[in-house]
Amino acid sequence: MKIIIYFVLLLSILYSETITPIPLHVKDVNLKKVKLGKELFFDVNLSKNNQVSCASCHIIEAGGDDNLKVPFAINGEKRTINTPTVLNSRYNFVQFWDGRAKDLQEQAAGPIDNPAEMGSDFTKLIEKLNATSYKKKFKKIYDDGISKDNITNAIAEYEKTLITPNAPFDKYLRGDINAISKDAKKGYKLFKSKGCIICHNGVNIGGNLYAKFGEFKETKSPSLGRYDVTKNELDKYYFKVPTLRNIEKTAPYLHDGRLDTLKETVKFMLNYQLAKTVTKNEINNIVEFLKSLNGEILNIEK
Amino acid sequence: MRNSDKNNINFIKKVDYVLFFLLILFAIIGTLSYQIHLINNIDIKYKKYDKKIDKLLLLNSGFNNFLLNKRISDNYDSISAKIKQFDALLNDLNEKQFDNLFNKNIKETIYSIHSNFSKKEILLERFKSNNALSIYSLNYLIDLVTHIKIEQDIEKNFLKIINNSIYDLLRLFLNQSSDVQILDEEINSIKFLNKQIKNDKLDLFNTNLMFAKKKIIYANKIKKEAFKIKMNENLELLLFQIDKKFKIVRKKEVALIYFLFIVIFIITIGAVYIYLKSLKIKKDLISLRYAVENSDDSIVITDINSNIVYTNEAFTKVTGYTREEALGKNPNILKSGKMSNDFYKEMHNHLSKGEKWVGEFINKNKNGDLYYERASITPMFTNAKLTGYLAIKLNITDYIKEQERVKFLAYSDPLTSLGNRRMMKKIILEELENIETSKKQLYVFLWI
């Protein structure tokens, strides 16, 4: 009997709604910290050469990433990992492709003192910022003034507000059945029946588990994923499943930016991750669905 | 002047005692309220920890539930949120430093919860990944079977094997059977069949069947490993240890409070007893004072330096000095000069030996009039220490004068006031006595 119930449940999972819309407001933030974090996010002085800010690689209007295959390096180092989007990153269960930061604050410290990215040394950076008006601004919010913890805390607080509610698909989920096109609806159906939804679910349509890159068909990858963090053979080629929100704007795709278009990517993923064949029409429909995931950038200052 | 200083000192001494007593009382009451505050804090802390550990237990059972039921119709947001929540709650227990009430056992338990959680977290993440794939494969297989059934013309026997393989896989997925052998046989049969009919879908089915088997076995292994981690026991132990520790601490604090209450009670009883006793003494003193005040004898009390500290009304009546005038002065203001120095020397000798002295003075009052008094001076001792002198004096001027008059009447003629026979006899007897001692000669002329 239990088997039959499970059988039904198993079938129903592909048709149940496991994607939830993004909340319309952000209420769990300190607005003063957000303001300070925003200033820091866009400030090139946080970098060693005073030319790079967080926003250099996370261009908010361009999908929250840099639209490059792999990011440029200020020290000429060869980069291998595609920049993930900062948008909706608060909904990811861990940060970075390999999940090496457990939250946004931990993540924010990463690029600042990465020699290839912003190349700053926190001790020197704090000295540098203490000579500016930041000293006063920090003191107003944090008792201990400028510190690594407080810099990253403020940036993380700002990043918490970088969400994109009101995507047509979210409106559809909220009951507006005409918010997305017929093709997109078909695409959503395919997204579920083909099995994409097994990994891409939840509010961020992804970002809540690790999955192996090349699950069904082995594929080359320069990065070893989670293995780099745990050094456990079992974690080789496991990456954080990325969000599909605003996916149209965050080309090129995959962790190494190997694919330029959504169509290629959908085909690749179905093939390598799910061992499924797919027709051109199906791909078009799925892409149509993916395009309906573009949201509006929330303006917290309103 | 010196006297008022002394009074001040006495007063300060008195105040010191009262102040000291009050300070002790305040200190005890202060300690008491601090203790009550401490106990309140302990209770709040205990409740906080109790609540946290309860939440951790709940989250852990959520993890176990997830591992058991596989949450196939839910997304992974909730389990990810639970993992984060657990991590945050656990970090709260020792974020910056341990609570100072935590003993070694509690700290060790928390450390072991930390290490067990990191193990469990890794297993949960692996399980999430594998479980997703297991569910996907099962779905894919069911999907493929429907296609195979519709499209292909396959013998009923083989269809039965295919159906059975999915059934067995589901049983494995639900952990109802651990008989992987039967499943392997089925996979081999399908492989064999496919070699004969060479069907793409069947090939795909078989590949997926093996893949799903691998994933499900792996997921089951992870689950087994995760259940080996005694997180629940750890948390229960922590709850027990914290409960025990806090109860002991609380008991100690409560005992101290009881002790302080008892001390305050004893002090209060003591204070009431002393007060009642002092009331009685006061009453006695008032009667004594009344007696002293209204005595016909003049009474003077001096300190050890012979400064007058008390006089009664009779003193004022006799000497003319009011109490205010007399206080602080030496009794020698009454000296008439009619007494020899030897007299005073003898008196001081007595007194300095601590003996009572009794004698008669010829003193001078404020107006300069001489008067006689019979006095007894007693050194006063408190706890074998000389504290002053008490003089009780009776004015005997009238008595002396009366005595002189009687003497006069006895030795003189009432008519002429000249000496009479008795007088002559007295004088002659006196003189005779003198002769015996001085060996002089006596001549008496009698003219009658």
How many A-B residue pairs are in contact by the CB < 8 A criterion?
A: 94
CA distance B58 to chain A (A): 20
CA neighbor of A97 nearest in space, from A76, A71, A73, A61: A71
A24-54 residue pLDDT tens: 999 999 999 999 999 999 999 999 999 999 9
Provide the annotated active-site residues of A. Answer: 117
Of B74, B80, B132, which has the smallest distance from its Cβ to A93's Cβ? Answer: B80
Instruction: Sort out which chain B residues have CB atoms less than 8 A from A2's CB and list them.
Output: 174, 176
CA distance B75 to chain A (A): 5
**What percent of chain B has pLDDT above 70?**
94
pTM of the predicted protein model: 0.75
Chain B positions touching chain A (beta carbons under 8 Å): 72-77, 79-80, 83-84, 87, 122, 125-126, 128-129, 132-133, 135-136, 138-140, 142-143, 167, 170-171, 173-174, 176, 204, 207-208, 211
Nearest CA in chain B to A204: B77
B81-97 residue pLDDT tens: 999 999 999 998 887 77
Best of B91, B133, B166 to mutate (most A CBs within 10 Å, chain A): B133
Spatial neighbors of A212 by CB under 8 A, at least 6 apart, are A237, A238, A239, B129
- Whole-number pLDDT of residue B433: 81
A13 touches chain B (CB under 8 A): yes
Structure tokens at A46: 């946080």
Lowest mean pLDDT among A238-242, B48-52, B207-211, B424-428: B424-428
Task: Give A154 or A18, the one with higher predicted confidence.
Answer: A154
Best of A1, A3, A6 to mutate (most B CBs within 10 Å, chain B): A6
Give just the sign of the alpha carbon dihedral A106, A110, A113, A117.
negative
Averaged confidence pLDDT in chain A: 91
Assess contact for B356 and B376: CB atoms under 8 A. yes
Of B73, B136, B176, which has the smallest distance from its Cβ to A16's Cβ? Answer: B73
Spatial neighbors of B193 by CB under 8 A, at least 6 apart, are B158, B161, B202
Task: Give B355 or B74, the one with higher predicted confidence.
Answer: B355
Averaged confidence pLDDT in chain B: 85
- Whole-number pLDDT of residue B8: 54
CA neighbor of B235 nearest in space, from B403, B57, B36, B88: B57
- Whole-number pLDDT of residue A6: 60
- Whole-number pLDDT of residue B166: 85
Contact A11 B208 (CB under 8 A): no
Radius of gyration, CA atoms only, chain A: 20
- Whole-number pLDDT of residue B6: 53
Q: Under DSSP, is residue A237 helix (H, G, I), strand (E, B) or coil?
A: coil
Contact B204 A93 (CB under 8 A): no
Instruction: Sort out which chain B residues have CB atoms less than 8 A from A10's CB and list them.
Output: 72, 135, 138-139, 142, 170
Assess contact for B320 and B366: CB atoms under 8 A. yes
- Whole-number pLDDT of residue B2: 47
* Count of alpha carbons within 13 angstroms of residue B365, beta-carbon side: 18
Residue type, position B424, single letter: M
DSSP string of A163-186? -----HHHHHHTT-TTSS-HHHHH
- Whole-number pLDDT of residue B62: 92
**Packing angle of the helix pair B2-69, B104-151 (nearest 10 deg):** 20
CA neighbor of B279 nearest in space, from B271, B267, B269: B271
- Whole-number pLDDT of residue B127: 92
Spatial neighbors of B261 by CB under 8 A, at least 6 apart, are B32
Instruction: Sort out which chain B residues have CB atoms less than 8 A from A275's CB and list them.
Output: 140, 204, 207-208
Lowest mean pLDDT among A61-75, B182-196, B239-253, B255-269: B182-196
Of B140, B143, B174, which has the smallest distance from its Cβ to A2's Cβ? Answer: B174
Contact A16 B211 (CB under 8 A): no
Question: First CA to last CA across chain B, in angstroms?
Answer: 68
Spatial neighbors of A147 by CB under 8 A, at least 6 apart, are A126
A12 touches chain B (CB under 8 A): yes
